[in-house]
Amino acid sequence: MITSLTKYLKQASKDDTIIFESDVSYLVGTSVWSKKGLNKILNVTKSDIDDVVILCKNVKQVKNLIENFSENQTFLSDWPGLLNVIFKKNSKLNTLPNDMITIRIPNHSTTLRLLDEKGPMISLPLKLGKQRPITKYTKTLVFESRVDFLIKGSDCELKEPSFFNTITEEKIQ
């Protein structure tokens, strides 16, 4: 269903999947607490579980998902932005099978509003085949029937994919 962000925020449930514009490209996502939603986005993107990035609105949301977070970490000055950081997840986060998770705090008003109201999200870039991530809103329409919601958007500028900027917690302590 193509809708506005406001309508999505009123109607969506935990297991719903959504395509939305971000600071990197268009992403498909679901609640970080939804195994059903995770399986749906993996199916839509034909991606591997290891490609998942968790988006958080702020450091407070990050702290709720990981073990041992220090406010003195040097990378905090790069958040929000394109930096992904790999952390050891805490035991409450049983949606993802791996012990290590990749987290990013985006710098995009729509994405931040979404995360503020719905909480952290599991996300994957939306792609057509092996092409680069989708940045044109019209190309997202191909996926409309494969997700629960598609947020009306505009074209976004593809920035350097954030996986090139991934660092691990061990490198920064």
Is the CATH number 3.90.870.10 carried by domain 2-172? yes
Q: Specify the pLDDT at position 159.
A: 63
Nearest CA to 113 out of 16, 38, 24, 22 is that of 22
Q: Specify the pLDDT at position 164.
A: 41
Sign of CA dihedral 73, 82, 52, 63: positive
Instruction: Name the stretches of the chain with pLDDT < 70.
Output: 72-75, 77-78, 158-173
pTM assigned to the model: 0.87
Condensed to tens digits (0 to 9), the pLDDT of residues 12-60 reads: 999 999 999 988 889 999 999 999 999 999 999 998 998 899 999 998 8
Q: Specify the pLDDT at position 172.
A: 44
Q: Specify the pLDDT at position 173.
A: 42
- What are the residue boundaries of the structural domains of the chain, listed by start? 2-172
